[in-house]
């Protein structure tokens, strides 16, 4: 199975919490998770994705490897989001998405229907 990871934005804590509550109440595509952290560091992102593989039965090492690959290969994006998070203040979170590539593709196709 292949995974994808991307930082998608900065969000106020309450907005992210509300989004997470909505996804618990409606059917969601299996294999797409949005995670958040207060810090834009590799350690914080890895820590935030650690529960996801257990939930979906994913390979922990591959998921962590995907996050590390993103961090290493997208330094401009990481730097941009780190600045945005700092500018936004302490009441905000860095939001990222980890997904099984096929599940993410299905989610995008559903949005376009």
Q: What is the mean pLDDT of residues 21-50?
A: 87
- Lowest average pLDDT, out of 15-24, 40-49, 85-94, goes to 15-24
Q: Is the pLDDT assigned to residue 89 strictly greater than 90?
A: yes
pLDDT number for residue 63: 95
Q: Is the pLDDT assigned to residue 79 strictly greater than 70?
A: yes
Beta bridge partners, 12, equal 92
Q: Is the pLDDT assigned to residue 78 strictly greater than 80?
A: yes
The residue whose two tokens read 């990222």 is 96
Q: Half-sphere exposure (CA, 13 Å, Cβ side) for 96?
A: 30
pLDDT number for residue 29: 60
pLDDT number for residue 53: 85
Report residue 39's pLDDT band, with 50, 70 and 90 as the boundaries: very high
Contact 104, 1 (CB under 8 A): no
Q: Is the pLDDT assigned to residue 12 strictly greater than 90?
A: yes
Q: Quote the pTM value.
A: 0.88
- Region label for 57, one of left (φ > 0), alpha (ψ between -120 and 50) or beta (otherwise): left
pLDDT number for residue 25: 74
């Amino acid at each position: 199975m292949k995974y994808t990871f991307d930082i998608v934005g900065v969000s106020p804590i309450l907005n992210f919490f509300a989004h997470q509550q909505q996804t618990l109440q409606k059917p969601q595509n299996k294999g797409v998770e949005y995670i958040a952290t207060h810090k834009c560091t590799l350690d914080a992102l890895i820590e935030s994705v650690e529960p996801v593989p257990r939930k979906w039965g994913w390979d922990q090492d591959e998921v962590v490897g995907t996050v590390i690959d993103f961090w290493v290969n997208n330094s401009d994006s990481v730097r941009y989001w780190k600045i945005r998070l700092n500018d936004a203040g302490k009441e905000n979170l860095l939001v990222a998405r980890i997904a099984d590539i096929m599940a993410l593709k299905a989610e995008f196709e559903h949005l376009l229907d």
